[in-house]
Amino acid sequence: MNVLRKIGLALFAPVLAVVVAVVISSAVMAALQVDPFEVFAVMVDFGDTPSQQVTALVVILNRAVPLFLAGLAVAIAFRMGLFNIGVEGQYRLATILAAGVGAAVALPGPLHVLLIVVVAMAVAAIWAGIVAVLKVTRGVSEVISSIMLNVIALGIASFLLTGPLRGSPEGASIIATAEIPESGWMPSLNGVFGLLGLATPPRQLYGFLLVAVVVGAVIAVLLNRTRFGFDLRAAGLSPSAASASGVDSRGMVVKTMLLSGAVAGLIGMPDLLGSTHAYTTDFTSGLGFLGIAVALLGRNKPVGIALGALLFAFLDRSLVPLQIQDFPASVVTIIQGTIVLAVVVANEIARRVARRSAERGSAAPAVVAGDGSTGPGQAASGAASDGGAADGGVGTGAGVSRSAGAGQRSDERQESGL
């Protein structure tokens, strides 16, 4: 398989998904007697003045940064075949505790920011670690425990906000933690616009954008270029094969969840360090769930996730201009929803295309046969095998597969495991 083909295959699924989503939403719009072309024109119109255009860009980037981090956190666990649905609770709890610590101490600038970020990562990692410990010691499905821990995390966050960490005066309509002193704020990147000769927007571009880019690059290298990343992906593709070759699958579950949680802890940081400087009752919520959609869209690869996050952010921004132009904003909701569904379908199609092309080539038919009816689902390179069906019981439930066939196989395995 040459490089061009590989890129083509990698792009095939997401592009197909977006095209299908656009076609379906156009059909829905047409059925509602809304001209889809006008709607799309409004969506790509960033305003008349340079200042408005740059502002639109800033709005999109600011929204994309937390979405990217959320997608990344979900994807790390996905690559290992773990379903971290607890990202929502992990980042909310991390953000409020980081806000509390940040407001309580006074340190010189960069150190203060660093402390807040480290606290957030640690809290979220510990919270995700609970899921991992439950899984490896008691065999609790990470799906169930992470959903339950979401509820607990939100409850704790709410208790902390209204109780010990309350910083807003009695009777204020929005409850907030005490404000982080200025040394704990992250400077904006608005200077960049001046350097590029663009208009400086009134909105601040989050400085955390740079951190997100670095984190994305580090995760990409870690997953693809290190022993740890290899073990992680191997355990995700085939737990039995991985443990046969000496990978400690229990240890990998714990490490992966800790890493996923640590990244989840960063989700709230762009808003906290860049604009709100406190955790409030109306701090952005739901990013953990959106992250699942973004990770699916990006096929669990950092670059793909970045593009997915930008797409979602772009769709989100268009909500306002669409309403101004008297178009139903639900169009955007329809597009977002159909994209998520289309991605699931498109990934499956891409996997089959990849397998067929692998079958045509002389590449190890035995591996392909072993793949059988199982779908590697999250598998990055489509031709790889899930192998979960052959697994006796070591990594029960580690393989997350999308095709119905694989699901049945997993069920059988679980029953026999019990």
Partner 1 sequence: MKVAALLLAGSMALAACASDETGGGSSGSGGGEGGGSEEPRIGLAFDTGGRGDRSFNDAAVAGLEAAVEEHGGEFQDLSPNADGSNRADLLTQLADEGYNPIIAVGFAYGEVIGDVVEQYPDTTFAIIDSSAAEVGADNLTGLLFSEEEGSFLAGVAAALKSETGHVGFVGGVETPLIQKFEAGYVAGAQAVNPQIIIDRQYISPAGDFSGFNAPDRGLLVAQGMYEGGADIVYHAAGGSGLGVFQAAAAAGARAIGVDSDQYQTVDDPALQAVILTSMLKRVDTAVSSFIDSFVDGSVQGGEDIVYNLEQDGVGLSTSGGFIDDIQDQIEEYRTQIVDGEITVPSTP
Distance CA 336, CA 347 (A): 17
- Closest CB 406 distance from partner 1, rounded Å: 7
Q: Identify the CA nearest to 285 among candidates 56, 71, 95.
A: 95
Three-state SS letters, 335-398: HHHHHHHHHHHHHHHHHHHHHHHHHHCCCCHHHHHHHCCCCCCCCCCCCCCCCHHHCCCCCCCC
Alpha carbon separation from 401 to 121, 135, 299, 356 (Å, rounded)? 29, 18, 13, 19
Looking at the Cβ atoms of 168 and 357, the one nearer to partner 1 is: 168
211, 54 in Cβ contact below 8 A? no
Give 3-state DSSP helix, strand, coil % of the chain, rounded to 5. Answer: 70, 0, 30
- Closest CB 110 distance from partner 1, rounded Å: 25
Distance CA 298, CA 262 (A): 20
Looking at the Cβ atoms of 64 and 211, the one nearer to partner 1 is: 64
- Closest CB 381 distance from partner 1, rounded Å: 21
Looking at the Cβ atoms of 327 and 382, the one nearer to partner 1 is: 327
Looking at the Cβ atoms of 88 and 231, the one nearer to partner 1 is: 88
- Closest CB 289 distance from partner 1, rounded Å: 3
Neighbouring residues of 101: CB distance < 8 A, sequence distance ≥ 6: 115, 116, 119
Looking at the Cβ atoms of 64 and 358, the one nearer to partner 1 is: 64
Half-sphere exposure of 4 (CA within 13 A, CB side): 0
Looking at the Cβ atoms of 188 and 280, the one nearer to partner 1 is: 280
Looking at the Cβ atoms of 83 and 129, the one nearer to partner 1 is: 83
- What is the number of other CB atoms lying within 10 angstroms of the CB of residue 129? 18
- Closest CB 354 distance from partner 1, rounded Å: 20
Kindly report the backbone phi and psi dihedral angles of residue 394, in degrees, each rounded to the nearest multiple of 5, phi listed first: -60, -60
Distance CA 387, CA 244 (A): 13
Residue found by looking up tokens 């400087």 in the block: 277
Token representation of residue 323:
């309403």
- What is the number of other CB atoms lying within 10 angstroms of the CB of residue 194? 10
Looking at the Cβ atoms of 219 and 290, the one nearer to partner 1 is: 290
- Closest CB 337 distance from partner 1, rounded Å: 5
- Closest CB 1 distance from partner 1, rounded Å: 28
- Closest CB 131 distance from partner 1, rounded Å: 13
Looking at the Cβ atoms of 155 and 187, the one nearer to partner 1 is: 155
Residue found by looking up tokens 């309350």 in the block: 166
- Closest CB 203 distance from partner 1, rounded Å: 8
